[in-house]
Structure 1
Amino acid sequence: MHGSQLIGDRYRKMTGPASGAMADVWTVEDTKLGRTVALKFLARRRLTQQGALTEFVASTVRMFEREGLAMARINHPHVAHIYDTGEHEGELYIVMEYVEGRPLAELLKTGTIRTLEPTVRWTRQICEGLEAAHKAKVLHRDIKPDNIMITQDGDVKIVDFGLAFLADVTQTHTSAGTPLYKAPERWNGEPGSQRSDLYSVGCVLYEMLTGRPPFGSPADDVMTIGRMHQDDRPAPPSAHRPGVPPQLDAVVQALLAKDPARRPKSAQAVADAVRDIQHVLDSMDLGESAGEEDLPELLGGSAGFSEAIRALDRRISDLDRRFGPSDQAVIDARDKHAELTGQSGDVRGAAALYNRLGLDCQAFFGPYDVRALNAFEGVARWIARAGNR
């Protein structure tokens, strides 16, 4: 794609591409509407030049076309929108919403567990987005951390419907998918169902809670992973992470049932169950122990821990963008965020947040800076509380 040439008479290249095996994604300007969008090119010519079989290229084209059809059917705040499709210099493209944020996979790649509040919130939002897709008769079939974007506001956007199955369109069944998150029935070549997507949600939720997928690792043999999905039962998340509420253990176990009929009946049912867990945090009284004198200003009134933590998430993100990560206001907000996380009952999450803060303060200010030492004191304090439970 030539830098000075408009795509479809309206799209001008800004940055990119981010290249995958079968497609390239550019950040482009929509010159007609004056907004930034993402433009995804199918790398059909590159696949052919690399010697890919004609049947494989043709199948890839069909998948790419299905992605556009699938995304066009769905209108939901937690699913990336599609704006346009077209062809340029013999290559097909899709124009999509530009999501400013990071893939969940990037947040998980260190193996660090996520705190409970965003884990519960993101799971609910994933399921709400999937419910909209399922109502539009679209199965995603590749729910995984790489395909879940976390925006700068801390919300979910489901992306990449490249393996989508349109339930009312005749097409060739495929067993493609990502092994670590693929439902047992799909290992037998079945196209899957709504409940197959929910199994993948269970795998993602398990990884957010424990820092590891329920079965295998990226280094394992694919068939070994498949056998584990079909035959093994994972330990509940609380076995790896004490403090996980039993209600959340139960949701994970239901999502990871081997028999699809034993899984929740819909994504909305899971969203409702997770919302009830989130309400446990929301209904808690902050009181004076929270140490948040400015919470009324932050939240516009009284609120529970979940909303307070979410508000601090937004404040930290805003301050970081404005002043940089080493600014004292950012450090103070992160300290409050860790403390509130512990007081909400997520003592392991509080220790993890304080540990990251301590390591960052050492990098910013030196190994013996008081801010780093205070953060590591927070680690010890919350670990001690975890041991007393």
Structure 2
Amino acid sequence: MDTFPLIGGRYQQKGGPARGAMGDVWTVEDTKLGRTVALKFLARRRLAQQGALTEFVDSTVKMFEREGLAMARINHPHVAHIYDTGEHDGELYIVMEYVEGKSLAEHLKTGATLALEPAVRWTRQICEGLEAAHKAKVLHRDIKPDNIMITQERDVKIVDFGLAFLADVTQSQTTAGTPLYKAPERWSGEQGSLRSDLYSVGCVLYEMLTGRPPFGSPGDDVMAVGRMHQENTPAPPSAHRPGVPPQLDSIVQMLLAKDPARRPKSAQTVADTVRGVQHVLDAAGLAGAAEEADQLETSATDAGLSGSIRALDRRIFDLERRFGPRDQAVIDARGKHAELTGQSGDARGAVALYNRLGHDCQDFFGPYDVRALSAFEGVARWIAEAGKK
């Protein structure tokens, strides 16, 4: 028998919460619709504990409720849906789509450089989701890898619009948001605009391409990071990662412009530009990879190499879930994925994928197993290929 009381008369808690800076997140069962959802309690009491006036607290609650209603109108595949809002025991909550998968932050923590294909594809999907939000007059204000979920289908879901809004009203203007991804104008006390969200996308793209944010690192002095955003110009991604197409360098440069007016006018503009880069990546490697692509046991639906790589990515995830990471079908698919990544023009990405595969095979089968040695041969081959460019 369930021991937790229903929240809002319909949501049954399924376990303990995950604690976050702005409140607690529960996995709950919607007893009316019979589905699992995410329920996030928001920290209204924190406002009062910080000494905010009652009028300000009430105003903040109304603003949050309006934003929740706006988000509920958004129906886009790359934005986690908001289903409901309410109040329970004096605390506000929102009910959101439960997203199975890992955050982009978790993907970046593996230590290996993200291949170009998913970096480009996920950037496009982030921008498409933001365009839908911006059309509904909703800003995110805290785009960062932790707020970008990668689903089991290897697609983007943007989360935590409402929590990002609350962060702005429970913190000072100079500390609201996440410092590593926060636009220069917001460090000056401005609330920001849709182009502030795009600046944060530029920071995330930079990290996907290079393995590091453009300014600072976790643990750095917050105000020092703020000055970097306002005053410094980062090296282009290709300076850290040879082989990054010049088109991506240009996109990053536009997104990270200090003056918001010099950034792209909309998220859709960025999505369209990034889609063009996907076509460039396809064209760069299509001829050399045609024979290999024909042999892949995938069901890619997108044109060119990007579709084949994406289908392999999904296939690997499915095989690992069904048979475990040691299965030979998984090892073979990962090798094909690394090879096709290199043939798409991303030699550095192929090196990273082969290197990770080699170390995994050593852990699974022993240091001298032929599968590990074969993977490291792929590392050497694609390092040599990268040196030719």
Normalising to structure 1: TM-score of the pair? 0.91
CA contact (8 A) 1:173 1:191 kept: no
Q: Does 1:215 find its partner at 2:215? A: yes
> Match of 2:77?
77
Alpha-carbon distance change, 60 to 14 in structure 1, aligned in 2, over 3 angstroms: farther
Instruction: Kindly report which structure 2 residues correspond to 1:279-290, keeping only aligned pairs within 5 A, or say none.
Output: 279-283=279-283, 285=286, 290=291
Q: Which moved more, 1:103-112 or 1:61-70?
A: 61-70
1:1-389 correspondence runs (5 A): 3-44=3-44, 47=46, 52-55=50-53, 58=57, 61=61, 65=65, 68-161=68-161, 162-164=163-165, 174-175=173-174, 176-283=176-283, 285=286, 290-295=291-296, 298-299=298-299, 303-389=303-389
Q: Output the CA distance in 1 between the equivalents of 2:289 and 2:223.
A: 54
Residues 36-80 of structure 1: CA deviation (Å, up to 9, x unaligned): 1111112455x489x543459938756754652342232211111
Q: Gaps spanning 5+ residues in structure 2: where?
A: none
Deviations 1:218-267 (Å, cap 9, x if unpaired)? 12111111111111100100000000000010000010111111111111
Percent identity between matched residues is 77
The 2-side partners of 1:264 and 1:91 are apart by 38
Classify 1:100/1:72 alpha carbon distance in 2 versus 1 (closer, same or farther; 3 Å): same
CA distance in structure 2 between the partners assigned to 1:11 and 1:345 by the alignment = 49
* Contact preservation (8 Å) 2:124, 2:274: yes
SS state at 1:53 partner: coil
Shift of residue 22 of structure 1?
A: 2.4
The answer (yes or no) to whether the contact 1:67–1:163 under 8 Å persists in 2 is no
Conserved 8 A contact 1:206-1:237: yes
Closer/same/farther in 2, CA of residues 26 and 302 from structure 1, 3 Å limit: closer
For residues 368 and 83 of structure 1, the distance between their equivalents in structure 2, rounded to whole angstroms, comes to 53
Cα deviation for residue 121 of structure 1 reads 0.3
Shift in Å at residue 110 of structure 1?
4.3
Shift of 1:33: 1.0
Equivalences, count = 381
Q: Would the aligned equivalents of 2:300 and 2:311 in 1 still touch at CA under 8 Å?
A: no
In the alignment, is the contact (CA less than 8 A) between 2:37 and 2:97 conserved in 1? yes
Instruction: Give me the CA root mean square deviation.
Output: 2.6
- Amino acid in the other structure paired with 1:77: P
CA drift at 1:13: 1.5
Aligned partners of 2:25 and 2:38 also within 8 Å: yes
How big is the shift at 1:277? 0.6
Q: Is the 8 A contact 1:199 1:256 kept in 2?
A: yes
User: How far, CA to CA, are the matches of 1:76 and 1:384 in structure 2?
Assistant: 43
Q: Distance in 2 between matches of 1:62 and 1:206?
A: 36
Deviations 1:341-370 (A, max 9, x none): 001000000000001111111111111111
* Equivalent position SS for 1:219: coil
**For residue 135 of structure 2, what is the amino acid of its counterpart?**
K
Distance 1:359 1:90, change over 3 A: same
Shift of 1:84: 0.8
- Identify the range of structure 1 (233-242 vs 284-293) with the bigger mean alpha-carbon deviation: 284-293
Q: Which moved more, 1:35-44 or 1:297-306?
A: 297-306
Whether the aligned pair in 1 keeps the contact of 2:302 and 2:308 (CA below 8 Å) is no
The 1-side partners of 2:24 and 2:359 are apart by 36
Question: What's the CA shift string for 1:87-116, capped at 9, x where partnerless?
Answer: 222222111000111111111124432100
Give the residue type in structure 2 aligned to 1:336.
K
- SS, match of residue 164 in structure 1: helix
Q: Which moved more, 1:225-234 or 1:365-374?
A: 365-374
Q: Contact 1:180 / 1:217 at 8 angstroms: preserved in 2?
A: yes
Residue segments in structure 1 that go unaligned for 5+ positions in a row: 166-171
Q: 1:299 is paired with a residue of what secondary structure?
A: coil
Which residue of structure 2 aligns with residue 169 of structure 1? none
Name the counterpart of 1:168. none
Give the match's secondary structure for 1:119: helix
Compared CA separation, residues 159 and 354, structure 1 to 2 (3 A): same
Name the aligned partner's letter for residue 53 of structure 1: G
Amino acid at match of 2:164: L
The amino acid of 2:223's aligned partner reads M
- The residue type paired with residue 113 of structure 2 is I
Structure 1 window deviating more from structure 2 (136-145 vs 63-72): it is 63-72
CA deviation after TM superposition for structure 1 residue 196, in Å = 0.8
Moved more, 70-79 or 17-26: 70-79
2:84 alignment partner, SS class: strand
Give the conservation status (yes or no) of the 8 Å contact 2:148–2:157: yes
- Conserved 8 A contact 1:22-1:44: no
Task: Work out whether residues 78 and 158 of structure 2, in 8 Å CA contact, stay in contact via their aligned partners in 1.
Answer: yes
Structure 1 pair 290–281 and aligned structure 2 pair: CA distance change class (3 A): farther
